[in-house]
Structure 1
Amino acid sequence: MNRTKILPFVLGLLLAACGGGGGSDSGSNTENASINAGEDVTVLEKSLFSLSALVSPSGGTVSWQVLSGPNVEGFPQEGMEIEVTAPDVKSDSETVFKVDYLAPNGQVVSDQVSVFITSQNQLPIPVVLQTLPSEGQSQYLDTVELSAAESSDPDENGQVVGYLWEQVSGPTLSFSSTTEQTLQFVHPLLVTNQAAKFRLTVTDDEDGSASTEYSVTLLKADQPVIADAGEVQTAIEFDTVTLDATQSKTASGQFSCLWQHLVQTGQNTMVTINEPSQCITQFVAPDVDVTTELSFQVTVTDPNGYSATDTVTVNLEPKALGLIQDSGLDTCFDASTEIDCDDADYPEQDADIGRDSVADFLDKVGQGRAAFDYTKLNEFADELPDTASQFSCVRDNVNGLIWEVKLSGTGTLPNTDTRDSINHYTWHIDRVSDAAYPGSVVSPANSTCPSDTDCGIQAFIDEVNASNFCGGSNWRLPTYFELLSLIDFGRQGDSHLLDPDFFPNLPDAAELGHLYYWSAQTSVDGRSLTQAFILDMQTGNDLAYPKANTAYVRLVRTP
């Protein structure tokens, strides 16, 4: 501090003769009072030092007080010389003292002195304790916790305000935070015992810091490889299922995988895994009829040759495909061209949903294009090879229905076989009580069929049942949806929409100008019951058709 001090007593006399002075003036013949607090000083915090003042004339009262700076205990106080204890400060500080002198003649003069207090910080004391696990030595997957809570600051009014943890050596560890009072990590998977060394640095409120080191012994695992095949899954047949073993653990973090399907006793469902040597791989869920449990095992191997296995279960459920054949459409289209069935602008087309969408994965009993599944039968309803060229009936393996297979070229109407493809009939069906259904029409015998009774549908049904054809006497006219299930719309552009491998010998469309086949459904148009639905095997369209007209017939029965 640069200040002009009042000079000693002799100089004071000269100033008095000139009329000057540092305090109040009580008369022209009175000596002027003066005071000098001395030079500024520098001291250490909490140390004892003295302040003294030179005054003139003597005999008055000297008083001291703190003007600014840290608080100093014991002030104000009086005395020519006083002893002061420097306060405890957090950083270098300045305290300004003011001293007043009341001279015997009543004059008051003052001076100031600065005391520069140097902070003398004591460094904090770092202490590390292991607080977790609470009992015994840590093992693989245990949470290890180191605490610096016992660290302290020896300064009376000091405290620890900062922590910094650093790993000096040891295996790679992961920490959520390294600046808190505690440090936590998960005991890693190790193949040998290893020491992890840490350095703790603590900082006090005066920015002083100190460090210490601490070691933790981490034990090797009983199993150097932990295989993890993932959680139990539930999937639908034909879904793409993902197998994931990436959560497996090894000491190095590196490993290879090998998957295999564990076939259970009595189970014949086989699965082909796309890439069995990949830790993440997939398979297409196979065709199942009931909920089926599949098991998959992964073998995980680390670079040192250590390995372990784990198994995951996939509960496989049947897809709700229904008990009817699909449309046979296996391609998708926009307004004009073929497109990918995954195109979001044209969703849920026939080829993208239902049985045909998973045709490639179906476990068929027999054969058939797209999702169709048929088995050829002989005249006794015994199964024949798919390659058989001579067969009497066809079983639909989806809904179990057995269909009549027509004969061809047996003669010229009316001299044809009962089941010749060119025979055609009016719509006439009897009730169980032998009363005809409303609207039934009987066509004359031998007019469009070889029957000597009549050429109504019921006459044909009776003749086939009487022969116990294909081992059954419960043949009937199919319903609308049963007949529709035979139509393969994927055969558009062909001469008809039935699979010729299973339904040969269709009549020439030129014979009647159409390929209409009767269904058992009467068309209720609100006016009469004179029409029934037919299905056109050339186009797949349906039509309400007069029962008095003739159309072709293909009988069906249940097993």
Structure 2
Amino acid sequence: MLKKSLTIAAVSVILSGCGGSGGSDEEVVRASINAGQDVTVIEKNEFTLKAMASPTGGTFNWQVTSGPSIDGFPQTGEELTVTAPDVKSDSIAVLKVDYLSPSGELVSDTLNVNITSNNQLPVAKVTQTGPATLPSKYLDTVVLSAEESSDPDDNGQVVGYKWELISGPSNIVVEDSGSMTLSFVHPLLADTQTAVWRLTVTDDEGGSTTTDFSVALAKNDKVVLANAGEDQEVLEFDTVTLDASKSVTVDGQYTCTWQQSSTGDTIALADSSACKTTFQAPDKDDKTFATFKVTVTDSSNRTGDDEVRIDILPKPLSNLNDSGASACYNDSAKIDCANTEFPRQDAELGRDSVAALISKEGSGDLAFDFTKLDADGKELSNDASSFSCVRDNITGLVWEVKEATAGTLPNTSTRNAQNHYTWALNPDGTELIGSEYPVINPAPCPHISDTYRCGVQAFINRVNSESGGYCGGNTWRLPSYTELMSIVDFGLVGVHVLDPAFFPNMPASSLRGHLYFWTSQTAVGGTNGVGANLTRAYVVDMETGNDIPRAKEQTAYVRLVRGDSNEN
């Protein structure tokens, strides 16, 4: 690079004297400065600066105008010995010298100092800091540290790390190979091996150095580690998953074989040769369990076993029947029950949802379970066409079966389907007689009193007075609201909501378009001239399954029940 310098300017001035004879020339010398040639120097080495100026006798002032700073500047002097600064890369420092002449004239010049970087490479060093006990073994976390690596440059530092596995087991897994610390889990090995790691460190000037470090890895006594999964607690009818996919082998390759290891009922697996398989928990009345053993075989035909226990609990279906609904709906149409926009519908919950899996004492639609009884209370076959009562095997309640409609009221049989009654009970259960419940004539019930008072208690008394007991019992009563609703099958809405296979002979006539049946439940809501007695009781409409409170002096049909109510 050419450097600019100031030069001496000579000026001749001719002075003329007065009077015309002769003359003289006078030369005026201007100040000048030359900083010298550009300098090339290696960082941290000395170099010399020497300026040349005219006229002599003036003062020199040096300063750095651009580039890296240099110790000692600004400073004065015609000749200087300077140490080049430590730089991270090749750099140029521009120096300027000002010269003030004896006459007070100021002139300047510059030069370039080309500084060559002389980086010292970093030092790579590896130490093993984990595990605490060596040699490491299977599942130990091996930790290698490059913390003691360094940069010998005074102002240098290590800024990059790179770890590479040069040789050793192929089943080593590393999540981060670019940090100061490297960690990995000691893999499963059939033989003792050595892992050789190469560390490359890079300093802030781009210089790098590598070093290799070896780690001893011990073999494991077992080379096939079968894992049948965690023990489980499930409900009957649940789909249970057996999963051995967390088993471990040296090369990660294996096959599985499952077999039931417990005694008792044999449970069929979907695929006994799949590492992940399923089965359906069987129908159980009491808590039980099953155990399954998985045999894992690796690619070298080495094997390992593990066992899992499955506790199976009865499904908490309670002693109540379900609704009888077998289909799911949106706001306007039938839909697939798997539709997540309309979840948790009756058809996919409760006893009905597992109806196909439940064992029954008798029979019935979906999860309903009824047994037919004769007039003495003895069980009949499911296909019996003549029966007097029905036992609900879920609730344990026994229900009256009506006789077919025949005759004209009041000349009908005691349990004729068309008979209907006033609720008309005192708090102690006896028939309420008074002006509030007048004689009904013609009677809607058979000749159960001389006055044609058709209170339901009179009907109950007559049934319970039968010799030997109707269907083997004489504790017949009105059902509670919950009891009566328990036999309603909402899957039959549209005709009537009792299964005709078990509850035949529904009334041929309706009460103002409804098939109201009394419950024993008094409705909350005021009195009506009967002292403290509430005046309405709930009825269930066996055409729709709906319930309403009905005035007790009105009539409704009756279906008697006996047994414990099981209400909670």
Q: Give the TM-score band, short-chain normalised.
A: 0.7 to 0.9
TM-score scaled to structure 1, two decimals? 0.74
- Partner in structure 2 of residue 308 of structure 1: 305
- Judged with a 3 Å threshold, the aligned counterparts in structure 2 of structure 1 residues 247 and 29 are, in CA distance, closer, same or farther, namely same
Moved more, 32-41 or 304-313: 32-41
- Judged with a 3 Å threshold, the aligned counterparts in structure 2 of structure 1 residues 408 and 132 are, in CA distance, closer, same or farther, namely same
Separation in 2, partners of 1:181, 1:109: 56
- Partner in structure 1 of residue 116 of structure 2: 118
- Judged with a 3 Å threshold, the aligned counterparts in structure 2 of structure 1 residues 214 and 541 are, in CA distance, closer, same or farther, namely closer
Moved more, 60-69 or 333-342: 60-69
- Partner in structure 2 of residue 375 of structure 1: 371
Which secondary structure state, in structure 2, belongs to the residue aligned with residue 486 of structure 1?
coil
How far 1:317 moved relative to its partner?
Answer: 6.8
1:40 and 2:38 are equivalent in the alignment: yes
- Judged with a 3 Å threshold, the aligned counterparts in structure 2 of structure 1 residues 448 and 62 are, in CA distance, closer, same or farther, namely closer
Counterpart of 2:325 (choices 313, 324, 329) is 329
How far 1:123 moved relative to its partner?
Answer: 1.3
- Partner in structure 1 of residue 90 of structure 2: 92
How far 1:457 moved relative to its partner?
Answer: 0.3
1:139 and 2:137 are equivalent in the alignment: yes
- Partner in structure 1 of residue 214 of structure 2: 215
- Judged with a 3 Å threshold, the aligned counterparts in structure 2 of structure 1 residues 376 and 293 are, in CA distance, closer, same or farther, namely same
- Partner in structure 2 of residue 340 of structure 1: 336
How far 1:315 moved relative to its partner?
Answer: 7.0
Which amino acid counterpart does residue 135 of structure 1 have in structure 2?
Answer: T
Counterpart of 1:156 (choices 154, 174, 178) is 154
Which amino acid counterpart does residue 47 of structure 1 have in structure 2?
Answer: N
Separation in 2, partners of 1:278, 1:404: 54
- Judged with a 3 Å threshold, the aligned counterparts in structure 2 of structure 1 residues 99 and 382 are, in CA distance, closer, same or farther, namely same
- Partner in structure 1 of residue 357 of structure 2: 361
- Partner in structure 2 of residue 129 of structure 1: 127
Q: Which residues of 2 match residues 441-460 of structure 1 at below 5 A?
A: 456-460=458-462
Which secondary structure state, in structure 2, belongs to the residue aligned with residue 356 of structure 1?
helix
Which amino acid counterpart does residue 45 of structure 1 have in structure 2?
Answer: E
- Partner in structure 2 of residue 351 of structure 1: 347
Which secondary structure state, in structure 1, belongs to the residue aligned with residue 215 of structure 2?
strand
- Kindly indicate whether the alpha-carbon contact (under 8 Å) linking 1:152 and 1:160 is maintained by their aligned counterparts in 2: yes
- Judged with a 3 Å threshold, the aligned counterparts in structure 2 of structure 1 residues 155 and 479 are, in CA distance, closer, same or farther, namely closer
- Kindly indicate whether the alpha-carbon contact (under 8 Å) linking 1:255 and 1:301 is maintained by their aligned counterparts in 2: yes
Which amino acid counterpart does residue 463 of structure 2 have in structure 1?
Answer: I
Alignment deviations for residues 426-467 of structure 1 (CA, whole Å, 9 cap, x no partner): 4588779784346778999x9965979998403423323x41
User: Number of aligned pairs?
Assistant: 536
- Kindly indicate whether the alpha-carbon contact (under 8 Å) linking 1:141 and 1:186 is maintained by their aligned counterparts in 2: yes
Aligned-residue RMSD, C-alpha: 5.1
Q: Which residues of 2 match residues 265-276 of structure 1 at below 5 A?
A: 274=270
Separation in 2, partners of 1:99, 1:538: 115
Separation in 2, partners of 1:458, 1:161: 97
Moved more, 481-490 or 241-250: 241-250
- Judged with a 3 Å threshold, the aligned counterparts in structure 2 of structure 1 residues 349 and 100 are, in CA distance, closer, same or farther, namely closer
- Partner in structure 1 of residue 492 of structure 2: 491
- Kindly indicate whether the alpha-carbon contact (under 8 Å) linking 1:451 and 1:459 is maintained by their aligned counterparts in 2: no
1:478 and 2:479 are equivalent in the alignment: yes
- Judged with a 3 Å threshold, the aligned counterparts in structure 2 of structure 1 residues 116 and 450 are, in CA distance, closer, same or farther, namely same
Which amino acid counterpart does residue 3 of structure 1 have in structure 2?
Answer: K
Structure 1: where are the runs of 5+ without partners?
A: 20-26
- Judged with a 3 Å threshold, the aligned counterparts in structure 2 of structure 1 residues 116 and 62 are, in CA distance, closer, same or farther, namely farther
- Partner in structure 1 of residue 19 of structure 2: none
Alignment deviations for residues 169-202 of structure 1 (CA, whole Å, 9 cap, x no partner): 4324443432221122222333443433322211
Which secondary structure state, in structure 2, belongs to the residue aligned with residue 323 of structure 1?
coil
How far 1:503 moved relative to its partner?
Answer: 4.1
Which secondary structure state, in structure 1, belongs to the residue aligned with residue 364 of structure 2?
coil
Alignment deviations for residues 300-352 of structure 1 (CA, whole Å, 9 cap, x no partner): 44444433324265675743x44332332212345664322344565555434
- Judged with a 3 Å threshold, the aligned counterparts in structure 2 of structure 1 residues 304 and 327 are, in CA distance, closer, same or farther, namely same
- Judged with a 3 Å threshold, the aligned counterparts in structure 2 of structure 1 residues 538 and 463 are, in CA distance, closer, same or farther, namely farther
- Judged with a 3 Å threshold, the aligned counterparts in structure 2 of structure 1 residues 312 and 193 are, in CA distance, closer, same or farther, namely farther
Which secondary structure state, in structure 1, belongs to the residue aligned with residue 483 of structure 2?
helix
- Judged with a 3 Å threshold, the aligned counterparts in structure 2 of structure 1 residues 437 and 223 are, in CA distance, closer, same or farther, namely farther
Which secondary structure state, in structure 2, belongs to the residue aligned with residue 355 of structure 1?
helix
How far 1:124 moved relative to its partner?
Answer: 1.2
- Kindly indicate whether the alpha-carbon contact (under 8 Å) linking 1:328 and 1:488 is maintained by their aligned counterparts in 2: yes
Which amino acid counterpart does residue 326 of structure 2 have in structure 1?
Answer: D
1:206 and 2:208 are equivalent in the alignment: no
Structure 2: where are the runs of 5+ without partners?
A: 14-24
1:197 and 2:196 are equivalent in the alignment: yes
- Judged with a 3 Å threshold, the aligned counterparts in structure 2 of structure 1 residues 61 and 263 are, in CA distance, closer, same or farther, namely same
Which secondary structure state, in structure 2, belongs to the residue aligned with residue 481 of structure 1?
helix
- Judged with a 3 Å threshold, the aligned counterparts in structure 2 of structure 1 residues 181 and 312 are, in CA distance, closer, same or farther, namely farther
Moved more, 230-239 or 184-193: 230-239
- Judged with a 3 Å threshold, the aligned counterparts in structure 2 of structure 1 residues 387 and 40 are, in CA distance, closer, same or farther, namely same
How far 1:162 moved relative to its partner?
Answer: 1.8
- Judged with a 3 Å threshold, the aligned counterparts in structure 2 of structure 1 residues 450 and 152 are, in CA distance, closer, same or farther, namely same
- Same amino acid, percent of matched pairs: 45
1:252 and 2:233 are equivalent in the alignment: no
TM-score scaled to structure 2, two decimals? 0.73
